[in-house]
Structure formats: C-alpha cells, structure tokens
Amino acid sequence: MHISRLHKLLTGGLAGVMFAVGGLTAATTASAADQSVRVRGTVVSLAGDQLQVKSRDGQPVTVTLKNGWMASAVKKASISDIKPGDFVGIASLPKSEGGDGALEVLIFPPAMKGRGEGSYGWDLKPNSTMTNATVGDAVKSVDGSVVTVNYHGKAKKISIPNGTPVVTLAPATVDDVKPGTVVFIPAEKAAKGTLSAGNVIVGKDGVVPPM
C-alpha cells in the first residue's frame, strides 16, 4: 500500500473521531518525494510538534506532527460484532490449507464504508495483506468465525480464530498521546528521511491498535 497524503474522514456523528486512511487503505502516490511509513510503538514524549516513539523493534523514531493534527482511538469489539454488510479491514496471512487467517480485524463505522476498498500488501507480519471489504457472510464455529468479504467484484474467505484482536474506532484527543501510550501512526517519509503525520491512532482503556 502506498499513499503520500493522509485524509481526515470522520467528523460530526463520530464525536470528532479522525482516522488516517493512509495507514489502512491503498491510494495512488501523490508525490514521488514522499512514501508511506507505518510507525508502531510506544510514545516516549511529545514536545510541541515533535513526537518521540520507541518502535516495536526498540528503535527511537521522531515524527513531526502536522498543523491541526488529530488523534483517534480504537476500542474493543468482538467476533460476534461482525455482521453481513459491515465494512471491515482485516490483516491476514495465507493458510497452508487455503484461504487466509486473520491477524486482526477493524470494523469501520458506517461513514467510512467503501473507503480504500481492496486487498493490499501489509507489513504487520511478512507476507501479510490488508483487505478492506464488505462482509458477505459470517459463519461461526467453535474455533471462531469464517467470513467471506467482497471487494471490487472479488470474494475472499478469511478465518477469524478465537482470540483475534477485533476493534472499532473511538474518540480521542491530543491529550491521549502521552508517554507509555501504544500508537499506530500512518506517516509520510520525505526524501531527506524525516517523518510527518496528521493523525495518531492511540491505545486507550487497555486496548491497543492491533493493525
């Protein structure tokens, strides 16, 4: 997935929740000088527009926050919340016996249905993909669920084992971006190597961004 511009998508009815579509969807590259980078880690400090993060591999990362940047959060959902007609983002890995197995599921609010629809390469784990699609059916079993999702006239079957992180979006403020908070940041990397972002997705109330 490549994107060089973050889009503010949610307002009003979602109490100001803002989500960076660049982190979970694919789009065309608007500037050859920039590339998308997904920062996953824990906040070390925030001073002015400089956000210091310790990445999940232990490396220090500095992200310059854009003017007017916003925060959003994830909140816990469950496999039983996934219904036909829902628009979801599922990170998954191919299974040896066929089909895919989910690594995490994000249930998008209705206002975001159709955003970034498709299936794209992802970097949560090697060989993983992110599929943003509409749930066609969901079959529950003792081990979890199997969903068939549809995008651009294609269908994909993904198993969701019990224990798979399932989340949806929740409001947050810039005050929630504080030391120790787990974050997911869809950022832009400039040609000179600096990172910038307009949105920060935070963990809140014990729920961390699984994407």
Task: List the domains of the chain with CATH numbers.
Answer: 12-74+169-202 (2.40.50.140), 76-167 (no CATH)
The rounded distance, in Å, linking the Cα atoms of 58 and 138 is: 38
* β-bridge pairing 60-76 and 50-55: antiparallel
H-run or E-run covering 140 = strand 129-141
Give the CA count within 13 Å in the CB-facing half-sphere of 20.
32
Taking only the tens place, the pLDDT of each residue in 62-99 is 999 999 999 999 999 999 999 999 999 999 999 998 88
pLDDT tens figures, 80-89: 999 999 999 9
> What value does the mean pLDDT of the chain take?
85
pLDDT at 16: 34
**Model pLDDT, residue 33:** 52
For residues 12 and 86, which has the higher predicted lDDT (pLDDT)? 86
Over the stretch 141-193, which tens digit does the pLDDT of each residue have? 777 899 999 999 999 999 999 999 999 999 999 999 999 999 999 999 999 99
**Among 25, 200, 2, CA closest to 106:** 25
For residues 164 and 211, the answer to whether their CB atoms sit within 8 Å is no
Instruction: Look at residue 80 and give its three-state secondary structure.
Output: helix
Q: Is 125 within 8 Å of 94 (Cβ atoms)? A: no
pLDDT in tens, 14-29: 333 434 444 454 333 3
pLDDT of residue 24: 53
